[in-house]
Amino acid sequence: MIKLVETWNKITNSAFKRSMLVLGLVLLAFFSAFLWPLPEKVDEIPVIDGVIGEFEYPVFHRIGEMGLYLDNDQEFGYFALTSPGSGWLAIGFSPSDIHMGANYLFFSVVGDEVFVGDHYGVSQFVHESDIDLGGSMDIEYFSGVEDQGSVVEFVFRLNSGDDFDTVLEVGKSYSIVVAYNEFDDVFDSKHTQWYKHKISILRD
Ligand SMILES: [Ca+2]
Ligand SMILES: [Ca+2]
């Protein structure tokens, strides 16, 4: 009997104990993944609510006094634009010469409402609404908040099918302009400040 107990102790002290320890660690790792909160996922699409979450967008550009946050999938671009002003703010894609040929997206936050404009640069200094030019308003979803500056979030199709919008292709880079007015919400009022920049549409 003593011999049997000694043999059992030897087994449990060596291989058996080690394998139980390994099994215990595997189980602990497995269950802790469920018990402990995981970091917020960054591969979910942004929520268009006018609030920019810490991990909501994979790309951020500081452009002068403005901020541009980007995300995209194969079909849509997800954007957040910030300005230090309370007037309109806008982004223009692919201008060939100042305003000329750019797809301009304008936003004004007024109280609880957000006004939007999908425009096109018809000359160096003039932009007109796509609708007035025979095109369409293609800002799919939008939201904004004004509080010590302006924040807007919006969704735009990478290829809207409208002649007055820029086609954005995944994996390519584009020239952009961003601009804002400090106080005025009327889109035709002149910008307070504008900046040129370059962005890339990421692969998924
Ligand atoms: Ca359009
Ligand atoms: Ca447009």
For 121-138, what is each residue's pLDDT tens digit? 999 889 999 999 999 999
Ligand nearest to the CA of 104: 2
DSSP 15: I
Q: Which of 129, 71, 102 is nearest to 194 (CA)?
A: 102
Q: Which of 83, 80, 73 is nearest to 56 (CA)?
A: 80
Ligand nearest to the CA of 106: 2
45 C-beta neighbours (distance < 10 Å), count? 13
Q: Is 59-200 a CATH 2.60.40.10 domain?
A: no
pLDDT 10s digits, 134-156: 999 999 999 999 999 999 999 99
Ligand nearest to the CA of 91: 2
The position carrying tokens 């970091």 is 39
CA of 137 to the centre of ligand 2 (A): 7
Q: Which two tokens stand for residue 186?
A: 């009327």
Helix (H, G, I), strand (E, B) or coil at 191: coil
CA of 147 to the centre of ligand 2 (A): 27
Please check whether residue 80 is in contact with residue 86, taking contact to mean a CB–CB distance below 8 angstroms.
no
Residues 159-186 have a mean pLDDT of 97
Q: What gap in Å lies between CA 53 and CA 174, rounded to an integer? A: 25
Whole-prediction pTM value?
A: 0.78
